[in-house]
Structure 1
Amino acid sequence: MPSLKNIETEAPPEQPARAVFDTGFYILALSALAAGVLVVVLKGWDRALEIAQDEMMFMAVLAPKIAAGMFIAATLPLLLPRDKVAIWIGRESGMRGLLLAAFAGAAIPGGPAMTFPLAASFGLVGADVGAIMAFVSSWALLSLNRTLIWEFSFLPVDLVWWRVLLCLPFPILIGLAARAVFGGRDA
């Protein structure tokens, strides 16, 4: 039986301060700027402005979804009991935790604006890195929503079944690899 910390009397560990703009942001910003300059040079200002307007409309549509995902990520840790989450998908959950996380990842509907904040909130309430990786990779590889609605509608049935069968072990393998690399620590 795993022993759990007394979370009511022990304060959570201090999180290190993170820079608002990190290296990844600068790489992305420079790549976008270079692509914009390339469009202006090759296609002209009119095409660059048309693309910028389309992307602003896309961001306006996407912003509420991101806000909802962030709301879920902020409130879910307040609703989920940390000790139960730690038992089910925490460091000591073993293979059962990876299977449960993989099943949840495959079953959850929605896109990345829902899945990634949900995965982050699982990490805040006691899930280990392996379970989070199994959850996210299962969502990416085995999403029932995508498989049932899109793949079976447009692709040959045998192709879909082969894809699912070939992808089936990967969320567990990815979770095991993450536990090996990160030592099974909490997210």
Structure 2
Amino acid sequence: MRADIQAPPSSAPRRKIIHGGFLVLLAVTLLAAILVAGKYGAAHALETAIGALGFIAVLLPKVGAGLFLAASIPLLLPRERVAALIGQESGWRGLALAAAAGALLPGGPGMTFPLAAALFAAGADLGAVLALVTGWSLLSLNRTLIWELSFLDWHLVALRIALCLPAPLAVGLVARALIARRR
């Protein structure tokens, strides 16, 4: 290398492949397997492990798709547009939009949480992200139509929705107030 050309500085510290949290989770899992094997026998512990691995095999593609979507959103959406719609200065309208998007969002946490993180990375503020997640968890249209209205009287479902309706806005406002107070 020539003396007048410098090597580029390293951009970021290297990440550990095996993190301490993974080791703790592995230790707890192995302890649980030993306890199950001791109480119910090794065959039952092996059957349980195979069932868990099958569940992971079914879940992994969904989580992978959610993470791919989450990684793509900040690259595809203009940061200024996201910030204008659900950013710090979007006010009540931004919180209501995020809560409504959460209520309309189908899917489970494997899609919702990566999407919320992606919107945060794309310019949404924490209040709007929390309003989205709260709207998804409390006001999910998918759950309401498929499960609640199938088994419960519509009056009870309407009462539950009416009681939960202000929650995403309240959570978003509290988050924004705490962040403003912290600054």
2:154 alignment partner, one of 154, 157, 170: 157
Instruction: Please report how far the alpha carbon of residue 17 of structure 1 lies from its aligned counterpart in structure 2 after TM superposition.
Output: 7.7
Instruction: Please report how far the alpha carbon of residue 109 of structure 1 lies from its aligned counterpart in structure 2 after TM superposition.
Output: 1.1
Greater share of residues in helix: 2
1:75 alignment partner, one of 63, 72, 76: 72
1:106 alignment partner, one of 100, 103, 107: 103
Number of residue pairs matched by the alignment: 171
What does residue 6 of structure 1 align with?
Answer: none
- CA–CA distance in 2 between the matches of 1:103 and 1:184? 26
Structure 1 stretches of at least 4 aligned residues deviating more than 4 Å after TM superposition? 14-20
1:21 alignment partner, one of 19, 22, 29: 19
Q: What is the alpha-carbon root mean square deviation over aligned residues?
A: 2.3
- Map of 1:2-151 to 2, 5 A cutoff? 21-23=19-21, 25-151=22-148
CA shift in 2, pair 1:78/1:29, >3 Å: same
- CA–CA distance in 2 between the matches of 1:22 and 1:48? 25
- CA–CA distance in 2 between the matches of 1:58 and 1:83? 40
For 1:82, the aligned partner's letter is R
Q: Percent identity?
A: 54
Larger radius of gyration: 2
Structure 2 residue runs without a partner (length 5+): 1-10
Instruction: Please report how far the alpha carbon of residue 163 of structure 1 lies from its aligned counterpart in structure 2 after TM superposition.
Output: 1.4
Q: TM (normalized to structure 2)?
A: 0.84
Instruction: Please report how far the alpha carbon of residue 106 of structure 1 lies from its aligned counterpart in structure 2 after TM superposition.
Output: 0.2
Structure 1 residue runs without a partner (length 5+): 1-13
Q: Greater shift after overlay, 123-132 or 167-176?
A: 167-176
Instruction: Please report how far the alpha carbon of residue 113 of structure 1 lies from its aligned counterpart in structure 2 after TM superposition.
Output: 1.5
CA shift in 2, pair 1:103/1:15, >3 Å: farther
- CA–CA distance in 2 between the matches of 1:18 and 1:178? 30
Instruction: Please report how far the alpha carbon of residue 184 of structure 1 lies from its aligned counterpart in structure 2 after TM superposition.
Output: 8.5
Contact 1:39 1:47 in 2 (8 A): yes
For 1:56, the aligned partner's letter is L
- CA–CA distance in 1 between the matches of 2:164 and 2:52? 33
For 2:56, the aligned partner's letter is M
Contact 1:98 1:172 in 2 (8 A): yes
Which deviations, in whole Å up to 9, do the C-alpha atoms of 1:136-177 show, x marking residues without a partner? 111011100110111101222222122111111111111112
For 1:140, the aligned partner's letter is S
